[in-house]
Structures are given as C-alpha cells and as structure tokens.
Amino acid sequence: MLQTFRSLENRYFRFWLSSVFVSNLGTWLQRTALDWLVIAYLSKQNATAIGIVVLLQYVPQLVLSPFTGFLADYFDRAKLLLVTQVLLMSTSFTLGMLVITEQVTLVHIYFLALTHGVVVAFDIPARHAFVSDVVPEKALTNAVGLNSVSFNSARLIGPAIAGVLIASTSSGWVILMNAMSYIPMLCCVLWLSLKSSCVFKHHSATKGTNKISDGFVYIASRREMVVALAMVSCVCITGMSFAVYLSSININEFHGGAMQYGMLVSMMAVGSITGAVLTASLPAPTVRRMVYVATAYSIACLCVAMSGSIWMFCVALVFLGMTLQLMTTSANAFIQVSSDKKYKGRVMAVAISVILGSTALGGPLVGWLCDEFGGRYAIGLGALLGIVACIIGAVSLGNARSQHTLCRLSIDSTETKEYEKVKI
C-alpha cells in the first residue's frame, strides 16, 4: 500500500495534487450543473443537445493538439498554465452570471462550451506534461495514477454535492463555485515556478526537434503507441460520453431528478477511483494488460445495459467506471513512460486529443442513439467497440510474437551456417 502512494513523498507533488483536486472538484460541479441545465431546462429533455455540448468542448483539442502540444514543449509550462487557469476562470464566471441573471440560452451554452474547449486544448498538454517536471522519471507512472485518483475522487463527490446545491440554490451558483476553484491552482503553479529548484526542468524543443508535426511522427514510428491509442479511442467513443446516456436514462427510464443524476455519476466515479488506485499500484502498463481491460470493459457495458433496477444499474456502473479508468489511465501512463522528454508535450497532446477527440465524435452519436432507441443501446455499442479494441490489441501481440519468432529463426539459421563453416 505504501508503494501505491510513494509519489506523495515529494512535498511539491503533494501541493500540486491538492490544488488539482480542488480544481477537479469545481470542474465536476460545473459539468453536473451544465448537463442538468441543458437537458432539464434548455432543450426539452433532448440528449442530442448534451452531445453537441460534448462535441464543442472536445473538438478543439482534436484540431489544435499539434500546436498546443508544441507550445507545451517549447514554452515554460508553468507560465502557460497560469494563462489557461485565468481564462478558464473567466469563462466559468461568465457562464455562471448568465445563468444567475436568467439570460442564458442554448446558444450561450454552445458558444461558451466551444470557448472553454479551446482554452482546455492549451491547458491539458501542459498540465499532463508538467507532472513529469515535478516528479522524477522513476515515479512518473505512480504520479500519473495518483493524478487520476485525484480526478476521480473529485468526480465521486462533485456530482453528489452539485445535485444537492442545484436543488437548494441554482445551477448558476454551482458554476460560479467552479470559477473560484481555479485560485488554488494559480497559487500552486506560481509557487512552483518560483521554487525553480524543485522542478525537473523539461528539455525545450531544440533544433531538429522543434516541428509541430514531430509528435505525430514520433508516435507513428512506434507501433505500440499507435496500438494503445487505437484501443483507447475505441473505448472512449461511448465510454467517455457517460454524461449523455446517464442523463437520458435517469430522466426517461428512472424518472429521477438532479440528485439522482449526481448519484449515478458518483457511482461510476467509485469504480474510477478503484481503477486509478489499481493503476498506481501496478508496474508500468503493457498492451497485453490493455487487452484484458478492454475485455472487462465490454462485459461491464453489457452488465449496465441489461440492469433492470436502479440499484443493479448503480452496481454495474461501478464496474464500468473501474474498467474505463483502467483503460484510459493505462494508455496515458504507457505513452508518458514510453516517450522522450523533449517530445512529451507534443506526444501527450496527440494522445489526449485522440481520447477526447473520440469523445467529441461519440457525443452526438450517443445522443442520437439515446433519443432514437434509448440509452441502453448506446451502452451496448460501447460493448461492441470494447471487443474491437480487444481484437486490435490481440492482433498486435500476435504480429509482435510472429516477428520475434522470425527474428529468432533468422539468428538461429545464421548461427548454424557459421557453425557449419567452422566445421568444414
């Protein structure tokens, strides 16, 4: 158990993780409030509208990832994070005030979702790469796992708190709380940038490695990275669009309110925390492990889709959250550990854009399935895509084994010929 939390021996990482938790908590408060605002009040229970919000939040990361990843490698990550935190605070404050003054419309939501997505496209590569600046390389896998624990711990309690606050106050005040949650992150990044001795300075892009496209080229030259990204993208198309199908099922099947919706998201977060802790406890991930996780994810999706009662549905969501988190965190850690530091920002930008880009493309699709056939069919699609991810990984492992066998036979053949020469 001590090994699971070994990164916390670094006091600078402890400070970073604490501030990240507060920021993540605010993020989940806003996400829950925004989802409920859209489906319950602004769109007449239309799940497709939430899918469009998801698309607008995530598609900028797909488009801008080569440029934003380059910035995370080329410029000081601490300064970049200071700028993004201020901008994210501003968008949340603007949205919160529009809701409180009852002037908000669906068009406002779409515009601010797009603006938020653009800023996050710059924030995420710098934030993920900054972890490798705070902890040494040997502790990176553990730090990535604990970072995910922080994120999902916030996801566990954030929606539940948001459900109570929405029922007692309004969505606008909940969104304003998110705006305030960026203050600890600003203080932390500023302090760490002043304490230059505590940071493992990243290798800035240099001559010969200063191209925006280098992240794509670097990943393309490493087959195992391509396989990992292909697998995690299959899982994320429906898995990461849980806000869409959970809100639809909550209203249309279980006839629940904001508090019950918060409970469903929190149940999924219980599993996510379990998955993140498991990742932090295990050694560096492999493609083989991701094949096993993809199989478990498919089974979890089937269990959720076939659950009849609300309580069985909640139990199945824990299993689904755990397998989804194991897949995304394993892929994240696998790519971080496998990449060279001078490319890390660009590589992580590509990796994260694949994960969130899959979510962006999957959001409207999941929304359409929910509106036309029901949320359970959308989850069933997740089971099918999990099987596809499993096949991709298994085929890759089979090809790698075949190449290793051919290489071994070639070496053995060469050694035999040399032996025969000597014998003659």
Residue 303 forms part of a structural domain = yes
More confident residue, 317 or 67: 317
Q: Is it the case that residue 100 has pLDDT exceeding 50?
A: yes
Q: Identify the pLDDT of residue 361.
A: 78
- Looking at every residue in the chain, the average pLDDT score rounds to 80
How sure is the predictor about 403, in pLDDT bands with cuts at 50, 70 and 90? low
Query: What local confidence, expressed as pLDDT, does residue 210 receive?
Result: 52
Which residue would you say has higher pLDDT here, 227 or 354? 227
Q: Tell me which residue range forms the domain holding 232.
A: 3-199+212-423
Q: Which residue has the higher pLDDT, 103 or 414?
A: 103
Q: Does 286 or 203 have the greater pLDDT score?
A: 286
Give ∠ CA 292-297-301 in degrees, rounded to 5: 155
Please report whether residue 206 resides in a domain: no
pLDDT for the residue 99: 92
The more confident residue out of 406 and 122 is 122
91 part of a folded domain: yes
In a domain, 207, yes or no: no
pLDDT of residue 418: 46
Checking phi first, is residue 282 left (phi over 0); if not, alpha (psi -120 to 50) or beta?
beta
DSSP H stretches of helix in 135-180: 140-168, 171-180
pLDDT-based confidence at residue 420 (cuts at 50, 70, 90): very low
| 396: amino acid identity, one letter | S
Q: Answer yes or no: are the C-beta atoms of 379 and 238 closer than 8 Å.
A: yes
Give the pLDDT of residue 406: 42
Cβ-based neighbours of 53, under 8 Å, separated by 6 or more: 34, 35, 38, 109, 110, 113, 363
Q: Is 60 exceeded by the pLDDT of residue 122? A: yes
Spatial contact of 127 and 70, defined as CB atoms under 8 Å apart:
no
pLDDT (mean) for 130-155 = 75
Residue 135 is assigned to a structural domain of this protein: yes
Can you tell me the mean pLDDT for 233-256? 85
Encoded tokens for 43: 């769109």
Establish if 299 belongs to a structural domain. Answer: yes
Work out the pLDDT band at 40, boundaries 50, 70, 90.
Answer: confident
Please give the Cα distance from 297 to 57 (Å, whole number): 25
pLDDT at 303: 92
For residues 124 and 61, the answer to whether their CB atoms sit within 8 Å is yes
The pLDDT assigned to 239 comes to 84
User: Would you give the end-to-end CA distance of the chain in angstroms?
Assistant: 61
More confident residue, 309 or 146: 309
241 falls in which pLDDT band (50, 70, 90)?
confident
With a cut of 90, say whether residue 277 has pLDDT above it.
no
Report the CATH number that the domain containing residue 161 is assigned in CATH.
1.20.1250.20
Q: Are 166 and 97 in contact (CB under 8 A)?
A: no
Range name among 111-120, 276-285, 299-308 with the lowest pLDDT average:
276-285
- The residue ranking higher by pLDDT, 334 or 186, is 186
pLDDT-derived band at 43 (thresholds 50, 70, 90) equals: confident
The answer to whether position 205 is within a domain reads no
Average pLDDT over residues 216-234: 84
Mean pLDDT (whole number) for 36-46: 81
- Regarding predicted confidence, which is higher, 62 or 400? 62
Residue 46 host element (H or E): none
Number of separate domains in the chain: 1
pLDDT single digits (tens) 166-222: 888 888 999 999 999 999 999 988 888 776 555 554 444 444 445 556 667 777 778
Residue 233 backbone class (left: φ over 0; alpha: ψ -120 to 50; beta: rest)? alpha
Task: State which H helix or E strand residue 360 sits in.
Answer: helix 344-372
Q: What is the pLDDT of residue 399?
A: 73
Which amino acid, 152? N
Q: What is the mean predicted confidence (pLDDT) over 372-396? A: 89
Give the burial class of 114: count Cβ atoms within 10 A of its Cβ; 0-12 exposed, 13-18 middle, 19 or more buried: middle
Q: What percent of the chain has pLDDT over 90?
A: 18
- What is the mean predicted confidence (pLDDT) over 342-367? 76
CA angle 342, 70, 94 (to 5 degrees): 130
The answer to whether 241 and 381 are in contact (CB under 8 A) is no
Residues 53-78, mean pLDDT to the nearest whole number: 78
Q: What is the pLDDT of residues 14-25, one digit of tens each?
A: 888 889 899 989
* Residue 3: predicted pLDDT: 60
Q: Is the pLDDT of residue 296 over 90?
A: yes
Q: What is the phi-psi region of residue 170: left when phi exceeds 0, alpha when psi lies from -120 to 50, beta otherwise? A: beta
State yes or no: pLDDT of 98 exceeds 90.
yes
